[in-house]
Structure 1
């Protein structure tokens, strides 16, 4: 996100001697994207950030996937994946259950009640949507406060941990990319400012507000990274000093939150296509959100979506609030995912088309991920598939 920020103490000139604590020289770390030819930030550490004393295999949760074959639309009931006291023993990092994935993006779900270990994703950026609950997200850039409705964008290789807050478990919908995640390019000026037609602006993006300082030696950090065959693997680093030793940083690369309530919906006289709901993009996928809004006001408008074929993409809709008009009668509700694969024409459930005529407002909340390569089912997706959604347009009748 090309929006400059600075936090803590930094020198007047980059790449020069900096002694913020008397005679002690700070160690400068440049975090930069695309071979240091894109956005970057400079962080100033009290200790050498490269120093490590151990490295061993971290066995990741089950990351295997199976093809959606024979192809069919699916309804995945995410709230069935976590029950009762098991939530209190789960954290946002190691407790994730893979729902859907391909070579570009992986979608997981978790209900967490305890703090995670220190973690960084060396594969790509993460976009974590907080369905409910709250968390303190502690990072090398400082502290983020995450609440229900927040997207938490964490750049690749950012060391951080999740600390749930309050009595309510933290429900998180995790989108892990093999690339960077950013606002759509059509929303940005050639210099990176969000334009007037964008549905949000820089005022809606909330970066770290305070640095966090921790001491300690031989500190464990979980790292997700690419294996020799292109697969995703894990390593458990032991760093010589605690990574939360940053005294200051500045630049245009950092984690931030954006709340879905700050998205200003784009509406029209007739039904608007899905790109008007887009909020972020990555390589070979986009993220959209559907928020409460006034709907189409042409006198002959049909407010629910027209039937459509995703010729180039799979569509994943996570229903996280409100009352989704187009899916009434399908069994879909809060915590559901619908998967509509490319090659399948889909749209409103029977009766919804007609019932929507005359509607002036939709009270619905959903996060959509469209991928441009087919998605496969992970362990979590297989475990919570309702098995009958594909036949819902035909009244449940199977041939």
Structure 2
């Protein structure tokens, strides 16, 4: 059991409520432990704490335009490695056509996010249709392949040596954010039975298995996706970002942790979906400035207008590593208390990791190197 050192203090000029009713002409900065889940202090400053003029050294906010990564091959193991540590691997995959072999990840559960296009999933458990905005959780060891008439674009998030689970929703109950009854799962339908028959079933099938980041190939003289039925509690599940109903407070800007969708060992996955802006006159209508204490923060921008960012478009990814303060860009900060529209219209996937992330070589080649200057208008 953790027992934090705890003694609430008010020193100098402060607001009576975090993220609301700030002293005139001031901004707020949150310093917190355990990524919004632990003890926190809210500093009041006369100017944004992102007003740096120079940045030197390897630690810096980074942005990558994944749109510049072209198609690789029709296998998830051909995907570009973007970010990774011992507990999570992020890969970007533009699949040019249907897979002609099966994949199996023996290193951990896989979370696939379909950014663009559509696809048909065939796996041990059956068949499932996928569209843009779908999250697909594939339990470790699942054999699978996709068919797609057109190229499709995916963000692959591996929970290395771990499993995906649901967050504890606490006081708001198990049906908040999304009802687990919304999870779709593969079915042994006519499409699944059809792929067990005909010429494709009679040929050799290869299964490429990843273990310890090394690939092995197993060949079958038949299609191994030949299940007749199944029962149990372990299965792939799918939910679309459009089915997510974010928690809201009209008087208080909720932290990103309120939007947690999946949890794994030493990282979480959150979803930002459209929601009304706060209506209380004194409540912040933009994310508050905060330190990245304890966690690296990654955001993949899927669709819409990213109201707290400037010069960011769908298909880009940002990394805010632990160790510096960040928050809304200057244009967004102008709307700190008054927004010009009633609601946000963004969809984004956030991954917060407890351990530092390393950058893949291909990501460096498509980096927006001046991103750290975007808070100063550079």
Q: TM-score, normalised by structure 2?
A: 0.78
How far does the alpha carbon of each residue in 1:238-280 deviate from its partner, in whole angstroms, 9 at most, with x for none? 2354311211111011112110111111111111011111100
Whether the aligned pair in 2 keeps the contact of 1:204 and 1:259 (CA below 8 Å) is: no
Give the match for residue 224 of structure 1.
210
Partner of 1:104: 87
Distance (whole Å) between structure 2 residues aligned to residue 131 and residue 241 of structure 1: 32
Say whether the 8 Å CA contact 1:222–1:236 is kept in structure 2: yes
CA distance in 1, matches of 2:131, 2:281: 39
1:381 equivalent to 2:363? Answer: yes
Query: Given the alignment, which residue of 128, 138, 151 partners 1:144?
Result: 128
> How many residue pairs end up in the alignment?
310
Unaligned runs of 5+ in 2: 1-56
Hey, what's the Cα distance between the residues in 2 that align with 1:292 and 1:356?
Answer: 18
Alpha-carbon contact 2:295-2:353 (below 8 Å) kept: yes
The alpha carbon displacement at 1:355 in A equals 2.1
1:174: Cα distance to partner?
A: 0.8
Which structure features the higher share of strand residues? 1
- 2:178 maps to 200
Residues 341 and 374 of structure 1 are in contact (CA less than 8 Å); yes or no, is this contact kept in structure 2? Answer: yes
4+ runs deviating over 6 angstroms: none
Aligned match of 1:127 in 105, 111, 117?
111
- Deviation digits for residues 21-80 of structure 1 (CA, Å, limit 9, x no counterpart): xxxxxxxxxxxxxxxxxxxxxxxxxxxxxxxxxxxxxxxxxxxxxxxx711110100001
Q: Which ranges in structure 1 are unaligned for 5 or more consecutive residues?
A: 1-68, 227-231
Any idea what SS the aligned residue of 1:100 has? strand
Equivalent residue, structure 1, for 2:97: 114
Tell me which of 350, 361, 371 is aligned to 2:330.
350
* Distance in 2, Cα, partners of 1:107 & 1:345: 24
1:123, distance to aligned residue in structure 2 (A): 0.5
Q: Is the partner of 1:355 in helix, strand or coil?
A: coil
RMSD, aligned α-carbons = 2.0
Please give the TM-score of this superposition, normalised by the length of structure 1.
0.74
C-alpha contact 1:130 1:148 (8 A) present in aligned 2: yes
Residue in structure 1 matching 2:244, options 256, 263, 267: 263
Q: State yes or no: 1:335 paired with 2:315.
A: yes
Asked whether the 8 Å contact 1:278–1:286 carries over to 2, the reply is yes
Give 1:99 deviation, angstroms: 0.7
TM-fit CA distance, 1:389: 0.3
- 1:114-146: CA deviation from partner (whole Å, max 9, x where unpaired): 112201000001111111110001001001111
| 2:298–2:318 contact (8 Å) kept in structure 1 | yes
